Amino acid sequence: PTTRIVADIHCVTGWSKLDTVWEGVRFRDLMAYVRPLPSAEYVIVHAEYGFTANLPLRRLMADNVLLAWKYNDQPLTPEHGWPLRLVVPDLYFWKSAKWVRGIEFSFEDRPGFWEQAGYHNEGDPWLEQRYASG
C-alpha cells in the first residue's frame, strides 16, 4: 500500500528541512513479501554509482521509513533520487540513499559509502553522530 508521511530531514552539514512530504511504500510493509533469514540483522542498500548505505534492520521497521517515489507531491527528480529513494527521517539524511537499485540483507554490518569515508556508522542527528571517532 502507498503511504504518505510528513517528516523533518537533517543533513550532516547542519541544515534541516521541516515538514517534507514523501510518498511510497513503508519498508516494513514490504517485509510482508520478503523473508530474509532470521540471522539477517542488517540491510545494505545498493544505489547508483557504487553508493551503499548500511542500516540495522530494526531501524528500517519504523513507521516513517519509506521507499519513496514522490517528494512534496511530485514524482522524484533525479536530483532527489529518482526513481526510488530510501527515506529514513530519524537518521542523518546520508542514510536515505538516492537511486536505489537493490536491497541486501546481511547477518553482519558492513560500512556503507559514507561510513568508509569517516562518517558515523549510526548517524543519529539527536545525538549529533556525524563523524566516526578515532
Q: What is the pLDDT of residue 42?
A: 98
Q: What is the pLDDT of residue 8?
A: 97
Q: What is the pLDDT of residue 6?
A: 98
Side chain identity, residue 127: L
Phi, psi of 102 (to 5 degrees): -170, 160
Phi, psi of 24 (to 5 degrees): 175, -150
Mean pLDDT of 18-47: 96
User: What are 59-94's pLDDT values in tens digits?
Assistant: 999 999 999 999 999 999 999 999 999 999 999 999
Domain ranges (residues) in the chain: 2-127
Question: Whole-model pTM?
Answer: 0.93
CATH superfamily entry for domain 2-127: Oxidoreductase, molybdopterin-binding domain (3.90.420.10)
